Structure 1
Amino acid sequence: MKSKRRLWIFGAIAIGAIILITFLAAPANNQQQSGSTYARDPAGYGAWYAFMSERGSPIQRWQKPFEDLVDSEAKPPITLLRVYSQLEAPISKKEREWVDKGNTLVLLGIRHPVTEAAFSTRHNSPQGIIKIDTRRRKIDAEGLLSDRFGAIVWEESIGKGKVVYATTPHLAANAYQDFKSNYEFLAQIVTESGETKKLSIPNQLLVDEYLHGYKDAEVIKREQGENIIIYFTKTPLFPALIPAFILLLVAIWAGNRRFGQPLTLSAPVIDNSVAYIQALAGVLQKANSTEFVVEVVGKEEQLQLQKALGLGQVPLDHQSLIDAWVQQTGHPATELESLLNSHSRKSKMSELKLLAWLEKWEQIRRRLPS
């Protein structure tokens, strides 16, 4: 009795620990991590970030909300790169106002319709061959990179700045390290001036990591109310949860017999006929005795057909049975004649032919008059 109670207690504690660990230590959403410069998987941008750093570009990771960038004292030109597979256009009013001041917003992963273009294509550019793996296009448009199905990368001028869009979030992902032209192409985009469209290193080149769930310490402190555990500790609900959890443990302790005495399961009744048929079928299959199966099943099917046609149980010759079949169903005699002759020949069949033969008998039964 005591051992059973201990088992219930340990089980409850284990379940509670699993739930707590699941909430606290669950891995980050793979979809959210796609496109992050911290990610080393094929969809990440860690390799491109290192590529830009080695070139001496003033690239930094931005781990704050976009509003903080708007309110900052940083002067244009600033380029903000966002990589995500669920970005939407058009951009918000606040983003347009920020771009209008002479900044550049680069959005990789804009949702556009899937076209008839091949999924994997290659395109010529001043930087070399660009590899693209998406069928999405901005239909009836041309841009920095496009084909006959539409634009893949295009730009929109807004005041002194511009917005660059791309239908693929993987333009310079880790998977394309063998295609340096892709890296050079994106580098060209983020270092091009909005006014003159010439190479002009921006004051700041930022990659939005806040979009992927990365936050600066000050942002975490400011937004800690979003953490559900910290939120509960600051509300009256938390003190109520502690006695509730204790009551749950007590209820488990006291009510571990609430379902009554354990019942012994009775052994299932074995159908000897079914067991015999299954055993015989297994032996015949291993021996490949299809001629025996055709003979036995064919005679039984013929007898059942006679009964259905009202011809009694005494086996008739094939022609009499065929004549009755044609008269009552109106179907051609060849359908039944081929089946009756097949089990008279007593020849081996392959498994596929045997299944086809059984299917034909099934069709014969379906065509009987109701």
Structure 2
Amino acid sequence: MITINRRQWFFLGCAVLVLLVVGLLILAVAPSSRAGSSFDASPWGTQKFYAYLQQQGFQVARWQRDYNYLKGQGHVFIQISGRPMSWPPSLVEWLAQGNTLVRFYWHGEPTAAPFAARLSTPQGKVLIETRRRVPFQQGDRSLLKDDHGSIVYLREATSPQTHGQRILGVYPWLVANVYGGDPPLANFAVVAEILQNVVTPGATIYFDEWLHGYRQRTPEDVVRETVPETLFDYFSRTPWLAVGVQFSLLLLFLLWQQSQRFGPPLLEKEPVASNSAAYIAALAGVLERAQQRHFVLEQLQHRFRYDLANQLGLAANPHHLPRDSELIQAWQTTTGRSPQHLQDLLSIPHSIDDSQLLKWLEQAGSALQALKRAV
């Protein structure tokens, strides 16, 4: 059984406290699940970009229902999130009807590009804070790029059965509030120009708020939300970063704790050799191989007689024991039991095997226990 002393409890408590503090710091610093929402006024939100599009004369709205309710053609659907996103079948079907998806999320490959890059555009300087880029490939049209690859690109549908027109960005926070300061960068203006080229006159630019948890739900929506549609959808709702960091810290603490010595070293005890036990074990082995059960029984009966005489008060002496008749009579008088039982234990049979020898030992022990209780 593993025991934990006070010092170990102290270190374990400190480790749990550190895990809690680190978890709270991650929750406070890292973008939340609502980062990218047009309702979010934090540096990671897009509230300023939503207001900017309104000022530029775009027809914008916030989408807060299930994708099954999307209708019409020529609209633009904006999704912004720092978390993985799936492709719901209802959204894919709506895009294939002649609508455009604008999705800014982490993807692409790390390159040699500087982490903070200021790109020159006709609208001004655009700040990008990521090394991720998508390699140039046939069928894609770069809308914002540098020498290392595409940052925002347009990917046309390859067939009516696939996704509709898609505008994808490798940096989720391209139009975050942090880039709408004073003086503002050109991030908002560049993305607004991209939207101007794809939206149909009179159509709506929808900001996906259903993705961020702002939902106008029907009873059917409630059931669909509580039950993940796919395994990927289930895992996407789990805060794996916080879980992974806390598990790693706990693992490091356990590795460190197991490598430390709490208290003085314990010396290994030397086994104490017993000459008497070794002699008895050796003699028992010799007698067993020689099949000397009668000899063993004689020695046991001699000891049994001595124990009987000693408990009956007959001045027992190992070399001058009372006669069996005296022992039987005294035992019967003291215990009140039949003398035949004791007579069988004191007699030597013509032949005896191992099971009979064990049975004799058990009966002799019972007789001594009965005498001990009667005395």
The higher radius of gyration belongs to 2
